[in-house]
Structure 1
Amino acid sequence: MTTINPDGPPTGERQAPLMPSNDTIFSWVEDLTAFVGRGTQTIDDRRSADYLCRKFQDFGLTEVQVQEAESFNWHATRSELTIGTTPVPHSPVVFSFDTNGGNGPFSTGADGLTAPVVEVGDGEESDFARVDAAGAIVLFNLRFTLPRSVLLAAGDFLHDPNGSVDPADLDTPNPYLSNYAEVVERVTAAGAVGFIGVLADYFDSHDIRPEYTADVTVPGFWVTRRVGTRVRDLLTSGARTATVRLEGERVPTPARTVIGYLPGLSDETIMVQSHHDSAWDGGVEDASGTAEVLALAAWFSRIPRAERPRTLMFVLMDSHWTGYQAHDKFVETFVTDPAAPRRIVANVTLEHIAKQAEIGTDGQLQVYERPEYRGIFENVSPALKTVIEDAVTTHGLERTVRLPLDKLAPLLGELPTDADPVYEAGVPVISLISGPLYLYDRADTLDKVYKDDLGPVAEAFADIIGHLATTPADEIRA
């Protein structure tokens, strides 16, 4: 792809535009984290969508638009947990107590719900078989089931020039996959009236807000590993019951997808994607990914249309936390509809420019000044696999593994990134993501973003997009 001199008219030797600096990209992360609980996490929240529309317009993108899809907001107004007579620190399990099968209020009643507590360990079928959970509150260990070692072993390429991969880190789990859904299914099937999940593989925090799980019809509560030990001590020392109170409401609210274009010489289109909503401050998830999309929009906007072989479509989604309704509507409108105005031939998704974190010896979160291990999931041709590796190496994206989806999709059951709905619709993807331990936690604050890599990640993906722009459409997919 031919480029231009960013500071004036073309010179004798044409130069690449300057990628926005780390400081500039980080300033966009700062702006987004100021919108705490943005997107569907706040009812009818327009803050980040409006901000991103202005940015796209400032960069000169065309057809800037917001597509709305009906999603929902879940919020608790009262949450209490007592074992015997002892109050227990906790957080309510978001999206639990779906008593109406949809929107509306939920409540355990003014007096709450008192029931015996039954212990099921890790919540396997055999654990449930040995107890009578009917009418009880189930106590189980939440286990994360995807350690780093699995992803690194599945990779075809790892850039680790300084030998920084520490075997001691490899058992640290990614919080994306857990035993939660299967245990809750057993809780419901057993006729239990509630559950307490002990965050057994987590640092000392109960402020976790995983993605949406449907059909959780009973109230649930998270407690830390340390508090879980205290709960078990209370139960063995004589307390037999728990009293829980959970009140709140699930309210319909729109999810907003922000879209903008840089037209090229062809209507064949490369889609560049992240998501702009967050559960908390969302510095890493996903102000960092959104800021990367902004950086690429700014960079490519400086290249004349005559030098862009394909149209570029920049897309920032909502409803990542509440069921992917925005993603599904986008796919229906722009991917699978035969009347869609442009053909999307490739997807590039960027998420989570993160610092590495571990559980310290004191149980607290230990954060390091180095990048979290990260993967680039892909199902592209051998030539483009080489392009990915070259971009990672050239721009120094240490601790990055290339993950071929032909190996991983059967294992994981899905693409574990924001690109999954587009991937399922048949679009080839190149999707960068990391899974730091704090990803779903209140601890995902601005300081967790690995600032030093903001520019290099954008530069690497500018290279990748440049090659996608000149690869024949039928030669992109693996």
Structure 2
Amino acid sequence: MIQSHTDGTNGLEENGTEAILSMAHYLARIPRNELPRSILIVMSTGHMSGHAMGTEAFLRKHTDDLVARTAAAMSLEHLGARPWLPDKNGTYRLGPGYETGLCFASPHKEMIKVARTAQERSQVDGNRVLRPFMPDTISGESPNGFWWPGDGEGLWRVSALPSMQYISGPAYLLSSGKPVMDFIDTAAVRRQAIAFTDAALDLTRIPRAQLNKRRWDDPGSLPHLPI
């Protein structure tokens, strides 16, 4: 599953769907018999109404069919973001390089490896992969008691899928009506789209039993450790 949301406050929040549309056009041209698994594209809404409502509604509605058949999932948000930072006088200006971006990943060894490789291929902002770190005080559904921020957090918290999410959080992210094309490196978006397409293809080739292997130090796998 490749997922993002369609509602946002400006052209960066949300531009994951634009990248995914290009990814889908490429993936649709691959002969079906050359794909070990099919790829489901999910573009939901309701994110800005609070806590990824559209994505969660989709996951709950399709728990016993589409989600049950899903081996792995990724969510993409806020691609190609350039930094916008204050100078010594407190005036905000575009800075060099890229805004800090990273992947969150469920505690599955293969997802962490695929997420790290995708970021290295995109040559945007390193290869940071973080585990879920926010205590699940909302629903108590998370398999290990934690979730990450982003529209794709339900992939892990609600559906317990081997999953990952790319996201960045620049200062202009939630500036409604702000023209942001000068803040987005479209060449970087293209590299990220290609890299995460390769990641999706990598995931189609990994056996499901291997995808489901959790890290040994995941709190959910070690019930004697406090969460």
Scaled to the shorter chain, the TM-score interval is 0.7 to 0.9
Deviation for aligned residue 1:436 = 0.3
CA RMSD of aligned residues (A): 2.3
Question: Residue 332 of structure 1 aligns with which residue?
Answer: 60
CA distance in 2, matches of 1:414, 1:436: 21
CA distance in 2, matches of 1:450, 1:326: 28
Mapping for residues 318-329 of structure 1, pairs under 5 Å: 318-323=45-50, 324-329=52-57
Question: Residue 275 of structure 1 aligns with which residue?
Answer: 5
CA distance in 1, matches of 2:147, 2:122: 29
Question: Residue 452 of structure 1 aligns with which residue?
Answer: 187
Gaps of 5+ in 1: 1-270
Residue 441 of structure 1, aligned match among 154, 164, 175: 175
> Residue deviations 1:174-205, cap 9 Å, x none?
xxxxxxxxxxxxxxxxxxxxxxxxxxxxxxxx
Q: TM-score, normalised by structure 2?
A: 0.79
Question: Residue 423 of structure 1 aligns with which residue?
Answer: 156
Question: Residue 198 of structure 1 aligns with which residue?
Answer: none
> Residue deviations 1:252-305, cap 9 Å, x none?
xxxxxxxxxxxxxxxxxxx101111122xx11111x211111121011111001
Residue 343 of structure 1, aligned match among 63, 66, 69: 69
Residues 289, 352 of structure 1: 8 Å contact kept:
yes
Cα pair distance change 1:365/1:400, threshold 3 Å: farther
Deviation for aligned residue 1:326 = 1.7
Is 1:290 aligned to 2:17, yes or no? yes
- Partner of 1:277: helix, strand, or coil? coil
Residue 360 of structure 1, aligned match among 83, 87, 94: 87
CA distance in 2, matches of 1:384, 1:342: 18
Deviation for aligned residue 1:470 = 1.3
CA distance in 2, matches of 1:451, 1:363: 27
CA distance in 2, matches of 1:420, 1:428: 11
- If asked which structure has higher relative contact order (CA below 8 Å, sep 6+), I would say 2
Question: Residue 206 of structure 2 aligns with which residue?
Answer: 471
> Residue deviations 1:126-163, cap 9 Å, x none?
xxxxxxxxxxxxxxxxxxxxxxxxxxxxxxxxxxxxxx
Is 1:461 aligned to 2:196, yes or no? yes
CA distance in 1, matches of 2:180, 2:193: 21
Q: TM-score, normalised by structure 1?
A: 0.39
CA distance in 2, matches of 1:293, 1:465: 11
Cα pair distance change 1:339/1:349, threshold 3 Å: closer
Question: Residue 116 of structure 2 aligns with which residue?
Answer: 389
- Aligned residues between the structures: 201
Residues 392, 400 of structure 1: 8 Å contact kept:
yes
> Residue deviations 1:332-391, cap 9 Å, x none?
212x2x355861221111100211121233433222242111010012533443333333
Amino acid at match of 2:113: T
Deviation for aligned residue 1:322 = 0.5
CA distance in 2, matches of 1:313, 1:428: 15
Structure with higher strand content: 1
Residues 284, 444 of structure 1: 8 Å contact kept:
no
- Partner of 2:188: helix, strand, or coil? helix
CA distance in 1, matches of 2:190, 2:98: 13
Amino acid at match of 1:468: L
Residues 283, 447 of structure 1: 8 Å contact kept:
no
- Partner of 2:49: helix, strand, or coil? coil
Residues 333, 340 of structure 1: 8 Å contact kept:
no
> Residue deviations 1:62-105, cap 9 Å, x none?
xxxxxxxxxxxxxxxxxxxxxxxxxxxxxxxxxxxxxxxxxxxx
Amino acid at match of 1:290: T
Cα pair distance change 1:341/1:317, threshold 3 Å: closer
CA distance in 2, matches of 1:396, 1:383: 20
Mapping for residues 304-323 of structure 1, pairs under 5 Å: 304-323=31-50
Q: Between Structure 1 and Structure 2, whose CA radius of gyration is higher?
A: 1
Residues 345, 473 of structure 1: 8 Å contact kept:
yes
Cα pair distance change 1:427/1:444, threshold 3 Å: farther
Cα pair distance change 1:441/1:395, threshold 3 Å: closer
Amino acid at match of 1:417: G
- Partner of 1:316: helix, strand, or coil? strand
Residues 59, 67 of structure 2: 8 Å contact kept:
no
Gaps of 5+ in 2: 138-145, 215-227
CA distance in 1, matches of 2:126, 2:68: 36
- Partner of 1:371: helix, strand, or coil? coil
Residues 357, 368 of structure 1: 8 Å contact kept:
yes
Residues 372, 399 of structure 1: 8 Å contact kept:
no
